[in-house]
Structure 1
């Protein structure tokens, strides 16, 4: 997949774009569509390590809680078998109620972690579906989406560089609640922005600056008529000259094979065209970059 990225985001894409004025629009559109599909497959491939890691954690919880459930059932049966049909004492009733409440709590946790695995799998299946299918707008737990896909993107980076670590700061307003949006597409925006943030943080980390602590902050708040999301990193920052071009299709400052110049352009279209929202960036070179997504609530 890296080889495919090099083929597309290197000399081939430059040559095609230089010739685009003399080409039929259909050919350029076909190239863009092929480019999007290849880049999408590359993103999914990069996320494999992250998916495995994020699934492993709730799976461990499920296995542990399953064993605990069996133990609790055994204790309940032991109490009942001792009585052999005789009335329970007050203490025995309290013990039994305690065990049943604990069993209920354990199985609630099993359901929560199983649901998390299911959401991850369904989200990644949705990422692989054809772009030609109708985009579905439906109520989505946006805070949950932000946290899970931020961690998936991070673990994808970690899969390539195990020395990379970052501390997360999630400030997700519970009032955000369910938001009507195209979850698959917004998750792609989150993946792109977090991938870029992690890349910038990792490049700064490699400078071995004294006292530098990599940090990624993700926030979401419900305002009067919109949801505002901010993704902020304390990485390398973006020079003003570059900032003016970052949403331009095929523009990238990353080395060949590391960036396609597609992610931010697609993210902008998903937010502004598909969701009638707004995507902006502020940055201070050497200090931070912060992307702000505004999604209207009246879709």
Structure 2
């Protein structure tokens, strides 16, 4: 073995580890089998949940159709009208009522046997229970004022009458019923006029058939139907592991919002592994039942669903343990064959680390370890030669570090600039959200005021008309009325009140226009490219800046001259483009205000806005002022971050920089500044009419 290469030694011993691929293959097979079994269980549960939900929905819809069909039978319509008349005149215990029963009760009772309902009610439009097949306690009472006004029967009657459509209540216990029942209410019409409501009492036997059907669910599976009552999820049917669960077992919504039963009752469907009411881990599928406003869940214990995987898992574990033992055994043997010469070489390396470059490793074999020792000896000889070279390289590295420090300082400065720009963008985004929120909150009360002004004016005109007529008819009223007329200055009030209302209307209209401009400017819903009206964005910005444009004690009003071209809808980032308009217009206003402080500026301050569509489908927007212009040595720095000529605290120097990036990078356009001394400044914006998204460019 002395002259045997270490590669051969490793091959010899690692043949023992050939069992490792077997372990990997076995694990892979287990994973495939496990995934297949889980997928099969998932598909089975989803299919059962879908089938049961579909069956229940069809069943409810059929029962609702039954109710609609019964209400359209002429005898039922006649019965409602006659029962209501006899009920109101004579009551349910009268001879007339018994005679009417003899005519209709048998006919109506037949529908209990035909459709399988527990009871049938006829309820008048006034809420009186004028007919019942079973004649239980609620018969003859009024569902608006009587004892049963808060019961589900009264509520479903009221919904059907109010909404004039078929309505159904959730299942629940009613009076002395031993099992949960539901009520289906349908309005009864005669010549398109509602004359009463038909209510069918339905038991939950068919629902229990679905719940108690355990085919495909093994020994642990079950079906659960729940409804949400206020903040509580209530089980509405008995279940396999808890026959008394109906209306006894509940779940608090606020405590378990992510619970599958809560999701199902909230209108969501899904599938997953969860813990049930027993604390057992289960695999479940849940669906929403819209006709009942309830949730359905089909589940099965994972221990039973995945039982076939336990044996396979145990076999895998045993194989892995055996493989690990073999690998450890092989590793020990290989380590002993390599470690001894390596230990000797390590001692020499330690001496070399202390600076003793004259140490030589003993070469005892011709394998890789021996070759390593020879190479080490050569390396030791070269280390001393390299030591001086390392010192030289250290000096070069120190110089490189100094250069790197300079570069890092520049990068830090750029990062600080980018961070400041990001903060500014976040501030603008937050401002947009604030503006949109304030506009929304203002709009609601203003709309209420504005909407009620017209009828208020009509009412006041009518009142004034009555007063004038009274004055004409009674020119000499009693002294008390004359005194009150004088105190309230009636003649002035008659003249001033319409003017007052007109002023209120103008103010409300002005607020409405400002709110519309604020909402248009914020454009929170247009963070992506969208075809918009550019002129609306400019007008909204001008509306927001209206206060800055007005005359004040220090200067006259700044006039805005708009020359709009015939622009189609333009593809752009509307919110960002509005920010560009805002930045440029603010700069123009600031420039004109600064110019008007100079004695040489005598012109009327004006801002010109021009738009046009060029022949090559470029949108051109020009915003200019007739101020004193920008000095020539400032032009090259206008779009640099943090460059500003404004006093400290008035400008950040980011407005034009951000605007330049919005136009050039976001809209693939150009932003240019044209300025001449004492002739004003013009900012020219141009970008393509149609934008190409980044995703399209990548493709």
User: Normalising by structure 2, what TM-score?
Assistant: 0.29
Equivalent position SS for 2:603? coil
* Partner Cα separation in structure 2 for residue 112 and residue 202 of structure 1: 26
Structure 2 unaligned regions, length at least 5: 1-406, 462-507, 692-699
CA distance in 1, matches of 2:532, 2:618: 15
Change (3 A) 1:144 1:25: closer
2:516 counterpart of 1:118 = yes
Q: Which moved more, 1:189-198 or 1:218-227?
A: 218-227
Deviation at 1:34, TM superposition (A): 2.7
Which one of 666, 683, 686 corresponds to residue 294 of structure 1?
686
Structure 1 segment 200-215 matched on structure 2, within 5 A: 200-209=591-600, 211-215=602-606
Post-superposition offset of 1:241: 0.7
Equivalent position to 2:625, from 215, 228, 233: 233
For residues 62-101 of structure 1, what are the structure 2 equivalents within 5 Å? 67-68=453-454, 71=457
On the 8 A contact 1:143/1:177 being kept in 2, the answer is no
Give the 5 Å matches for 1:1-299: 20-21=409-410, 23=412, 29-37=418-426, 40=428, 67-68=453-454, 71=457, 114=512, 117-121=515-519, 123-124=521-522, 126=524, 135-156=527-548, 163-164=554-555, 165-173=557-565, 175-209=566-600, 211-224=602-615, 225-299=617-691
Deviation at 1:240, TM superposition (A): 1.2
State the shift of 1:201 in Å: 0.5
| Larger RCO (CA under 8 A, 6+ residues apart) | 1
Distance 1:216 1:25 in 2: 35
Deviation, 1:229, is: 0.3
Tell me how far 1:170 sits from its aligned partner.
0.6
Cα distance, 1:211 vs. partner? 3.7
Partner Cα separation in structure 1 for residue 611 and residue 561 of structure 2:
12
User: Partners of 1:43 and 1:119 in 2: how far apart?
Assistant: 14
Asked if 2 retains the 8 angstrom alpha-carbon contact of 1:171 and 1:218, the reply is yes
2:604 counterpart SS class: coil
**What is the aligned residue count?**
231
Deviations 1:76-95 (A, max 9, x none): xxxxxxxxxxxxxxxxxxxx
- Cα gap change, 1:114 to 1:32, in 2 (>3 Å): closer
Q: CA deviation at 1:279?
A: 0.6
Rounded Cα–Cα distance in structure 2 between residues aligned with 1:237 and 1:275:
27
Once the two structures are superposed, residues 181-216 of structure 1 have per-residue CA deviations (whole angstroms, 9 ceiling, x without a partner) of 111100000000000000110111112446421000
**Structure 2 CA distance, aligned partners of 1:201 and 1:221?**
25
Which has the larger helix fraction?
Answer: 1
Name stretches of at least 5 consecutive residues in structure 1 with no aligned partner.
Answer: 1-17, 76-109
Measured after TM superposition, the shift of residue 28 of structure 1 is 5.2
Deviates more, 1:212-221 or 1:111-120: 111-120
Q: Deviations over 1:31-77 (max 9, x none)?
A: 44235445x48988xx99xx99xx99xx79x96786356657999xx
User: Is the 1:218–1:229 Cα contact (8 Å) retained in structure 2?
Assistant: yes
SS state of the match for residue 34, structure 1? helix
Larger Cα-atom Rg: 2
- Equivalent-residue separation in structure 2 for 1:254 and 1:203 (angstroms): 10
Partner of 1:94 in structure 2? none
Tell me, what secondary structure is at the counterpart of 1:220?
strand
What is the distance in 2 between the residues matched to 1:111 and 1:158?
Answer: 19
Q: In 2 relative to 1, CA 162–180 (structure 1 residues): closer, same or farther, beyond 3 Å?
A: farther
Cα separation, 2, equivalents of 1:279 and 1:190: 12
Q: 1:145 to 1:72 in 2, by over 3 A?
A: farther
8 Å CA contact retained: 1:147, 1:170: no
Calculate the aligned-residue CA RMSD, in Å.
Answer: 4.0
CA distance in 1, matches of 2:417, 2:661: 18
